[in-house]
Amino acid sequence: MREILFFAYVGVLTASAIASAIFYRDIRTRRLGIMLPYLAYVSVQELALYFYSSPEMNSVIYNLYRPLTVIFFAMIYYPIPLMKPFRKVILYSAIFYVVLTIINYTFIEPIDQSSRYIQLIRGFIVCFYGIFFLFSYFLLDNHEEVEYWKPLMWVTIGIVIFYPVTSIIAQLHIYLYENAATLGGLKLYTLIPQLMSIFMYGCFTYAFYLCRKKVQISLYPS
């Protein structure tokens, strides 16, 4: 069952990467072209860690991956015209997180151990990017603009649900581990993040599909 869930998760992730390649010309119009290399990288990373991994290696890879996700989502949201009022917050928070991560793993915690606090801060930062976008999106009163940015709205829904849930599970990891919390024989601290990942990457795939719809609007100046 554990293997079935993992390969379902990787399958949805890989399908999302493939969809981003198939609809690449369309997703670029919504500032989502960067998702193709990102999803391809994550797919390779997850498969590699499944076949060639150790607890220490996993921690190192994910400790390097977390600042990458903050940079990635900052690059997604920063150029979007709707996000112009929040650009300084996006930029400074991304810089803050990268610097904090470097300081933490250089002077405070070893890089081969996972930091729950660094993971929690990452979740809050990325989630706030999504909340800023949703706030701006739901204030739109132009139907064409609403339709144009709907794919990014689905990307954001995946993000604002995935990151808070997985950040909470990360904080409860020790408790869940010590109490052998399982569901259907699967450890909850593994089951829930993978189910949430399936949901998030499913949202990404649907967003890429929506990008096929041509909506003509007058884009704001960057």
pLDDT, residue 52, reads: 82
> How far is C-alpha 150 from the geometric centre of its chain's CA atoms?
18
Q: Are 20 and 208 in contact (CB under 8 A)?
A: yes
Q: How far is CA 107 from CA 68, 94, 104, 114, in A?
A: 20, 20, 6, 14
Rounded distance between C-alpha atoms, residue 144 and residue 148, angstroms: 6
DSSP state of 183: E
Q: How far is CA 155 from CA 2, 150, 199, in A?
A: 27, 9, 11
The dihedral through the CA atoms of 7, 8, 9, 14 has a sign that is positive
Q: Token pair for residue 46?
A: 């997850």
pTM, two decimal places: 0.90
pLDDT, residue 183, reads: 58
pLDDT, residue 83, reads: 95
Within 8 A by CB and 6+ apart from 121, the residues are 97, 100
Q: What is the DSSP string of 59-80?
A: HHHHHHHHHHHHHHHHHHHTT-
Q: Are 124 and 89 in contact (CB under 8 A)?
A: no
Q: Are 118 and 100 in contact (CB under 8 A)?
A: yes
Per-10-residue mean pLDDT of the chain, 222 residues long, equals 82 96 94 96 92 83 94 96 96 97 94 87 96 96 92 97 87 57 63 90 96 66 43
pLDDT, residue 213, reads: 77
Q: Token pair for residue 124?
A: 């809050």
pLDDT, residue 114, reads: 80
Rounded distance between C-alpha atoms, residue 39 and residue 201, angstroms: 9
Rounded distance between C-alpha atoms, residue 206 and residue 75, angstroms: 21
Q: How far is CA 221 from CA 84, 122, 161, in A?
A: 10, 30, 30
Q: Phi and psi for 183 in degrees, rounded to 5?
A: -140, 115
- CA-closest candidate to residue 61, choices 105, 111, 17: 111
pLDDT, residue 169, reads: 79
Residue 182, classed as helix, strand or coil, is strand
